[in-house]
Chain A
């Protein structure tokens, strides 16, 4: 049954701040982060959660999938702009999102990272998740998390033009 029991709801509520920060790190704007957070919560409520699932990890996984869906959707809109459906509220929302977008060197560098690396780095370096937790959320081996994070850090350092000693 697509519903959450009270303890799952409480656990998810307690996790919302961290989840919002995760959304912000992924999207780079407050408006997009709020959109992603709302989509995540709605999906969790709609699809439910297994009784034995860890609510926080489950929610992060749903969030990750929602963000990947959004990236694919953006890609389609960019490739086929004349065919893309335009929701009634999207023009104003996108305008606001554009105005609020946080322009910063690290933010721009983050956007250049491959999706897999960005997710892994954000979970660990920003949200403080362990490699094991990130691996569970992203459904990949711990070793994959380790290598993605290392490569992400190296690329960020290069993109941000930090002094390279190589």
Chain B
């Protein structure tokens, strides 16, 4: 079998030959048993390959991977600031446990914001005014929970916050940075909060969400802000 014939047969299997070349090859196949046998041999390779690739589960996408692409699309890229009037009402030293009730009060006036809906507004409020916490979740008015994890100065001069977000039975971790127009979600990935790590397979990065760590390592100018530094920024509306 010459290389030229091998490539011809391969192109034939892949539907890459012109109609004229197909006719010419099929005439040869009818007259050359060795060529026809080689075609069958290569065809069996393809059948085995496809059987391997199409076995059950081979195209099943784990929900946590599909979720990586969903959440930001739902929340919008830019989370608008809550109104200054609203933020003043929240106050500097607001305890995380009070965020839920304040959010309930303030949410209606934010629903008219141009970008995003009520959920985005509530997230913005929490990012704007809630101190970072190692274990304290803030309940938002729409039933979701948000926990700012840390704050840092970005290399581009913006203030950024890593956060965790829970909604329904899903959980995400992300980083948002403060722009003139609102909190810009820079990266957000799903976290397998519901998985039992003792028995179930966890995909790479499921525990530490490498993409988030990488993002912070690349974009943070320094170590995260201290609690006092962060509190001062929250009080001064991140100025």
Interface of B (DSSP majority class): helix
Question: With an 8 A cutoff between CB atoms, is B50 at the interface?
Answer: yes
Q: Knowing A25-B53, A126-B50, A166-B1 are in contact, say whether A41-B65 is a contact too (CB < 8 A).
A: yes
- Contact digits for A142-166, partner B, Cβ 8 Å, 1 yes 0 no: 0000110111011011001011111
Out of A45, A121, A146, A165, name the residue touching B49 (CB < 8 Å). Answer: A121
CB neighbours of A24 from chain B (8 A)? 53, 58-59
Distance between Cα atoms of A66 and B209 in the complex (Å): 17
Out of A88, A96, A160, name the residue touching B201 (CB < 8 Å). Answer: A96
Distance between Cα atoms of A2 and B72 in the complex (Å): 13
CB neighbours of B34 from chain A (8 A)? 165
Total interface residues on B, CB under 8 Å, equals 57
Size range of the chain A interface in the assembly: 35 or more
Question: With an 8 A cutoff between CB atoms, is B20 at the interface?
Answer: no
For chain B, residues 1 to 35, give those with C-beta under 8 angstroms from any C-beta of chain A: 1, 3, 6-7, 9-11, 13-14, 16, 34
**Is the CB–CB distance between B189 and A33 below 8 Å?**
no
Out of A41, A96, A150, A157, name the residue touching B69 (CB < 8 Å). Answer: A41
- Contact digits for A6-17, partner B, Cβ 8 Å, 1 yes 0 no: 100110110011
Task: Considering the complex, give the chain B residue whose CB is closest to the CB of A155.
Answer: B45
**Is the CB–CB distance between B70 and A13 below 8 Å?**
yes
